[in-house]
A and B are shown apart, each in its own frame.
Chain A
Amino acid sequence: MLDSLGLTSAVRRTPRPVEDLRSTSVVDDPVQRRDLILLERARTGDLQAFNDLVLCYQEQLFALIVRMVPDRDQASDCVQEAFFAAYRHLGSFRGGSVKSWLSRIAVNAAMDMQRFRKRRPADPYPELEDDSWQPPADASADPVTTTLTAERHQVLNQALAQVTDDQRAAIVLYDVEGYDYAEIAEMTGVSLGTVKSRIHRGRLALRSLLADRMELFRG
Chain B
Amino acid sequence: MTDPRATVAGHAAHDLTVLAAAADRDADDATRLSATAQMADCPECRALFADLTAISAGLADLPRSLPVSRDFRLSPERAARLRSPGWRERLAGLARSPSLRPMATAFTALGLAGLLLSAAASGVFSIPLGASGAAAPALAPAASPAAADNFSGGSGSGAGSATGSGTENQAATAPPPPGAGSTAGPAAAATPVPVGTTVGKGAEPTPPTDRSSQGSPGGSFIPPGPGGGSGSGAGGPVAAPGESLTGQPGHDGGAGIPAVGISPAQLGLWISAGLLLVGLAMFLLLRYRSRSFGR
- Asked whether, in the complex, the Cβ of A178 is within 8 Å of the Cβ of B66, the reply is no
Chain B residues closer than 8 Å to A87, beta-carbon distance? 74, 79, 82-83
Closest CB in chain A relative to B38 CB, distance in Å: 14
Q: Mark B19-42, 1 if CB is under 8 A from A, else 0.
A: 011011010000000000000000
Provide the bound-state CA to CA distance between A195 and B63, in Å.
23
- Asked whether, in the complex, the Cβ of A63 is within 8 Å of the Cβ of B65, the reply is yes
- Asked whether, in the complex, the Cβ of B73 is within 8 Å of the Cβ of A196, the reply is no
Identify the interface centre among A60, A172, A199, A203: most chain B CB within 10 Å of its CB. A203
Contact of A217 with B by CB under 8 A = yes
Stretch at the interface among B52-60, B121-129, B237-245: B52-60
Contact of B89 with A by CB under 8 A = yes
Identify the interface centre among A60, A63, A172: most chain B CB within 10 Å of its CB. A63
Chain A residues closer than 8 Å to B51, beta-carbon distance? 207, 210, 214, 217-218
Chain B residues closer than 8 Å to A66, beta-carbon distance? 66
Chain A residues 65-108 with CB under 8 Å of chain B are: 66-67, 72, 76, 79-80, 83-85, 87-89, 92, 94, 105, 108
Chain B residues 34-88 with CB under 8 Å of chain A are: 48, 50-52, 54-70, 72-74, 76, 78-79, 82-83
- Asked whether, in the complex, the Cβ of B82 is within 8 Å of the Cβ of A84, the reply is yes
Contact of B189 with A by CB under 8 A = no
Chain B residues closer than 8 Å to A129, beta-carbon distance? none
Provide the bound-state CA to CA distance between A92 and B17, in Å.
38
- Asked whether, in the complex, the Cβ of B73 is within 8 Å of the Cβ of A55, the reply is yes
A204: which of B17, B63, B294 is its contact (CB, 8 Å)? B17
- Asked whether, in the complex, the Cβ of A210 is within 8 Å of the Cβ of B55, the reply is yes
- Asked whether, in the complex, the Cβ of A63 is within 8 Å of the Cβ of B74, the reply is no
Q: A58-B72, A89-B294 are in contact. Are A133 and B67 (CB under 8 A)?
A: yes
- Asked whether, in the complex, the Cβ of B20 is within 8 Å of the Cβ of A200, the reply is yes
Chain A residues 170-217 with CB under 8 Å of chain B are: 171-172, 174-178, 180-181, 189, 196-197, 199-201, 203-204, 206-207, 210, 214, 216-217
- Asked whether, in the complex, the Cβ of A176 is within 8 Å of the Cβ of B73, the reply is no
Chain B residues closer than 8 Å to A80, beta-carbon distance? 70, 72
Provide the bound-state CA to CA distance between A41 and B103, in Å.
36
Closest CB in chain A relative to B286 CB, distance in Å: 16
B73: which of A51, A134, A203 is its contact (CB, 8 Å)? A51
Contact of B5 with A by CB under 8 A = no
Contact of A156 with B by CB under 8 A = yes
- Asked whether, in the complex, the Cβ of B74 is within 8 Å of the Cβ of A83, the reply is yes
User: Chain A interface (Cβ within 8 Å of chain B)?
Assistant: 47, 50-51, 54-55, 58-60, 62-64, 66-67, 72, 76, 79-80, 83-85, 87-89, 92, 94, 105, 108, 133-135, 149, 152-153, 156-157, 171-172, 174-178, 180-181, 189, 196-197, 199-201, 203-204, 206-207, 210, 214, 216-219
Q: Which 4 A-B pairs have the closest CB atoms?
A: A175-B59, A200-B20, A217-B54, A59-B65
In the complex, besides A62-B66, A201-B20, 17 extra interface pairs with C-beta distance below 8 angstroms are A54-B74, A58-B72, A59-B65, A59-B68, A62-B65, A67-B62, A87-B82, A92-B293, A92-B294, A152-B58, A157-B62, A175-B60, A200-B24, A210-B51, A210-B55, A216-B58, A218-B54
A to B CB contacts below 8 Å, 29 in the list: A51-B73, A54-B74, A58-B72, A59-B66, A59-B67, A62-B68, A80-B70, A83-B74, A84-B74, A84-B78, A87-B74, A89-B293, A105-B294, A108-B293, A135-B63, A149-B61, A153-B62, A153-B63, A172-B59, A175-B56, A181-B26, A189-B295, A200-B17, A201-B17, A204-B20, A206-B55, A207-B55, A210-B55, A217-B51
